[in-house]
């Protein structure tokens, strides 16, 4: 056995550069880069290795550890999980900053590889700068916080431990059923220690991303349930996207006349123009999909984990005798809602189910109901796209501080309705543009209203709904698809929370477009609190008033001026005419752009026969709060109790 003596950091970088994946016979490089913010415990260990010989890995300089990890997550998602950027940090706060990003990746089943630095394995210099000391156990470090949010966790306390650690990391990252965040903690002294690594450790490795084949018994049982249903409904989840099964699902739906609704993760896997695609389903779904979901006697969930938003907190599928069938690579997700499960790849599973159904000449009994529902929603879409301010204007959401609209128009001079802005944006940006979102009211608007016939161009993180994901992930999506325009749709609250990777985009010479919807607060949560009988408490950007509460003057923030200071090309818009001009002009810009859209509060889409289970106060003096609690009680009577 031949060996090469090198440091642990050097061995790690050399190993990462030799990892490839194979999917449907196509071999691609799996790890293409390494994002980092160098700091103590890292810069002279793995940092030395990256400086001396990064191989073909591109080294990215993040601006916030959470942000750079979101960038890596966005990159992996946009590559349908077949390419990743590894991330490394210093010990302590640098590592802790990535915990939120790890949770985001794991919830969404996106591969994210993290190498947070750690305190000394020898413990001799302890406590070093940024080291946490827990008297109950000196084995704890900041990196133990990753255990709750990762699919695999390890610590390399000896150089020779690196081999099993990273091989297991590859196992988890490349398995569709286990993909998520992986944390391999790297003690700072071990990074620089040398060992005689066997040369075979550095050979090119091709990891097969499998298409698990369902067993015939499960397919047959699922087909039997479908054959006995009259009005089945398909729920298209993210697994359809990652399996690249969109066209297969369309053919299945068309052949058996089964309408479908889309989750946030599954949207754009199936074309919006497909006649049986009713659009978004659930708590942020539209009227068409939700109306038919209530009538359905069988739900066929394909690649979905059935989150509370998808099922409207298990209240959407109301028929007492309705059945649930699932196709999912994860047996854990496949068993949800007491389903008849088919564990396997979405594309293979749908094809196998279709072959069985064809032999029985199955056809649903929906008739023209899907077409009628889609037409009705189309008319509602037209209405939403024409909402405009005028004297006596009534917003879409009625629960509001009576001052909010007048104060906003006086301070910001904006008169753009959120739903109308989205309609104009869809009309003017390229048909293949990638839109990225995550939090606030925009995910609901987009799931209901966004239409695209470009597969995988809808990039929504709504498993964690992580504020601050949008701009960083847009950079990742742009790195994955450099020829397509990428738009981060972000609220002002989320922008304030994390936007610094726009500086990384400018540094890299990469253009992303930021559409910032400024309604002077956390509008989505303001809706929730006020609809449940809580006052407008600390959700509008108001100064502290004479009462001692945050009920004073509404703040005006010039986000365009802020971003211009970073070097972005910016536009300030207050009406539809200015928005039109900015969208058209920005298409010619070569650098990152930000359009600061002053958006009327409470003009987001809302409702559409959905419900969301939240912890409403059982005891309250508010009549609205009392009504909200009774509404919860009534909905729970309809919800599935699993």
Full DSSP string of 166-217:
HHHHHHHHT-TTT-SEEEEEEEHHHHH-EEEEEGGGGS-EEEE---PPPPHH
Cis peptide leading into residue 239 (ω within 30°): no
- Residue 400 banded pLDDT, cuts 50, 70, 90: confident
CA distance 455 to 270: 7
For 268-301, how does the pLDDT look when each residue is reduced to its tens digit (9 = 90+)?
999 999 999 999 999 999 999 999 999 999 999 9
pLDDT at 614 over 90: yes
With a pLDDT cut of 70, the percent of the chain lying above it is 100
pLDDT tens across 113-124, in order?
Answer: 999 999 999 999
b/e sequence 116-149, b meaning 16+ C-beta within 10 Å = bbbbbbeeeeeebebbeeeeeeeeebbbbbbeeb
What's the CA gap between 19 and 204, in Å, rounded?
6
Task: Report whether 177 contacts 106 (CB < 8 A).
Answer: no
Average pLDDT estimate for 369-394 = 95
Does 317 score more than 90 pLDDT? no
Per the CB < 8 A criterion, the answer to whether 512 and 474 are in contact is yes
- pLDDT of amino acid 402: 76
405 vs 338, higher pLDDT: 338
Q: Count Cβ neighbours within 10 Å for each residue of 402-426 and write b for 16 or more, e otherwise.
A: eebbebbbebbebbbbbbbbbbebb
Q: Taking residues 107-117, what's their average pLDDT?
A: 98
For 448-464, write each residue's pLDDT tens digit: 999 999 999 999 999 99
Residues in the chain: 642
| Section 402-422 average pLDDT | 90
Q: How confident is the model at residue 320 (pLDDT cuts 50, 70, 90)?
A: low
- Tell me the mean pLDDT in the region 422-442: 98
CA 417 from centre of chain: 25
Give whole-number Cα distances, 291 to 233, 278, 311, 371, in Å: 11, 10, 13, 12
Whole-number Å distance between alpha carbons of 142 and 99: 10
Mean local confidence (pLDDT), 363-392: 96
Q: Any idea which of 100-109, 392-401, 425-434 has the lowest mean pLDDT?
A: 392-401
- The pLDDT tens digits of the residues spanning 205-232 come to 999 999 999 999 999 999 999 999 999 9
Q: What is the pLDDT averaged over residues 8-20?
A: 98
Tell me the Ramachandran region of residue 25: left when phi exceeds 0, alpha when psi lies from -120 to 50, beta otherwise. left
Rounded to the nearest integer, the mean pLDDT of the chain is 96
pTM of the model: 0.97
> Got the DSSP string for 98-158?
THHHHHHHHHTT--EEEEEEES-SS-TTPSPTT----TT-TT--GGGGGGGG-SEEEE--S
What pLDDT is recorded for position 319? 66
CA-based torsion, 181, 187, 192, 195: positive or negative: negative
- Report the range out of 129-133, 593-597, 604-608 with the highest average pLDDT: 593-597
Domains located in the chain, CATH noted? 3-208 (3.40.50.970), 216-374 (3.40.50.1220), 385-598 (3.40.50.970), 616-642 (no CATH)
Mean pLDDT of 167-181: 98
Please give the average per-residue pLDDT across 304-323, as a whole number.
Answer: 89
| pLDDT band at residue 549 using 50, 70 and 90 as cut-offs | very high
The predicted model gives 308-332 an average pLDDT of: 90
User: So what's the pLDDT on residue 638?
Assistant: 80
pLDDT bin (cut points 50, 70, 90) of residue 80 is very high
Average pLDDT over residues 405-409: 87
Q: Which band of pLDDT confidence, cut at 50, 70 and 90, is reported for residue 405? A: confident
């Amino acid at each position: 056995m031949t060996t090469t003596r090198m440091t642990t950091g050097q061995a790690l970088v050399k190993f990462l550069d030799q990892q490839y994946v194979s999917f449907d016979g196509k071999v691609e490089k799996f790890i293409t880069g390494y994002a980092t913010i160098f700091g103590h415990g890292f810069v002279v260990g793995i940092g030395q290795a990256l400086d001396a010989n990064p191989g073909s890995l591109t080294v990215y300089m993040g601006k916030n550890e959470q942000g750079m990890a979101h960038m890596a997550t966005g990159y992996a998602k946009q590559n349908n999980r077949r390419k990743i950027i590894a991330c490394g940090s210093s010990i302590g706060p640098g590592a802790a900053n990535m915990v939120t990003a790890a949770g985001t990746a794991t919830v969404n089943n996106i591969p994210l590889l993290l190498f947070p630095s750690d305190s000394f394995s020898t413990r001799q210099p302890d406590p070093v700068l940024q080291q946490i000391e827990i008297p109950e156990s000196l084995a704890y470090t900041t990196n133990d916080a990753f255990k709750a949010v990762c699919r695999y966790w390890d610590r390399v306390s000896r150089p020779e431990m690196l081999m099993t650690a990273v091989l297991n990391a590859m196992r988890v990252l490349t398995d569709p059923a286990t993909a998520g965040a992986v944390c391999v903690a790297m003690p700072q002294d071990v990074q620089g220690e040398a060992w005689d690594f066997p040369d075979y450790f550095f050979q090119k490795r091709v990891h097969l991303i499998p298409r698990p084949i369902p067993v015939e018994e499960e397919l047959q049982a699922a087909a039997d349930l479908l054959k006995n249903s009259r009005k089945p409904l398909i729920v298209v989840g993210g697994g359809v996207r990652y399996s690249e099964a969109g066209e297969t699902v369309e053919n299945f739906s068309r052949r058996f006349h089964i309408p479908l609704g889309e989750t946030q993760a599954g949207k754009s896997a199936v074309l919006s123009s497909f006649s049986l695609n009713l659009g978004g389903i659930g708590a942020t779904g539209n009227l068409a999909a939700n109306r038919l979901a209530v009538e359905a006697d069988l739900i066929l969930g394909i690649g979905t984990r059935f989150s509370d938003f998808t099922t409207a907190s298990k209240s959407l599928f109301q028929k007492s005798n309705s059945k649930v069938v699932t196709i999912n690579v994860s047996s854990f997700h496949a068993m949800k809602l007491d389903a008849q499960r088919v564990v396997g790849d979405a594309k293979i599973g749908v094809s196998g189910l279709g072959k069985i159904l064809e032999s029985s000449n199955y056809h649903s009994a929906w008739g023209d109901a899907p077409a009628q529902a889609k037409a009705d929603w189309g008319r509602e879409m037209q209405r939403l796209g024409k909402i405009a301010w005028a004297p006596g204007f009534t917003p879409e959401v009625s629960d509001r501080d009576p001052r909010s609209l007048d104060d906003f128009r006086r301070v910001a001079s904006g008169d753009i309705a959120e739903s109308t802005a989205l309609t104009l944006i869809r009309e003017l940006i390229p048909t293949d543009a990638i839109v990225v979102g995550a939090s606030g009211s925009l995910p609901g608007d987009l799931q209901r209203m966004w239409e695209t016939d470009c597969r995988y161009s809808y990039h929504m993180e709504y498993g964690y709904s992580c504020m601050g994901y949008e701009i960083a992930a847009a950079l990742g999506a742009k790195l994955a698809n450099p020829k397509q325009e990428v738009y981060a749709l972000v609220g002002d609250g989320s922008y304030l929370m994390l936007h610094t990777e726009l500086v990384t985009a400018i540094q890299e010479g990469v253009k992303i477009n930021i559409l910032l919807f400024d309604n002077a607060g956390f509008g989505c949560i303001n809706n929730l609190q006020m609809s449940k009988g809580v006052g407008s408490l600390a959700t509008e950007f108001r100064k502290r008033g004479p009462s001692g509460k945050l009920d004073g003057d509404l703040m005006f923030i010039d986000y365009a001026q802020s971003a211009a200071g970073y070097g972005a090309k910016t536009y300030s818009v207050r009406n539809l005419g200015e928005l039109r001009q900015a969208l058209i002009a920005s298409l010619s810009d070569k650098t990152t752009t930000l359009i600061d859209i002053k958006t009327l509060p409470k003009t987001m889409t809302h409702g559409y026969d959905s419900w969301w289970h939240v912890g409403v106060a059982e005891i309250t003096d508010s009549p609205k709060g009392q009504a909200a609690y009774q509404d919860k009680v009534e909905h729970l009577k309809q919800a599935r109790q699993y």
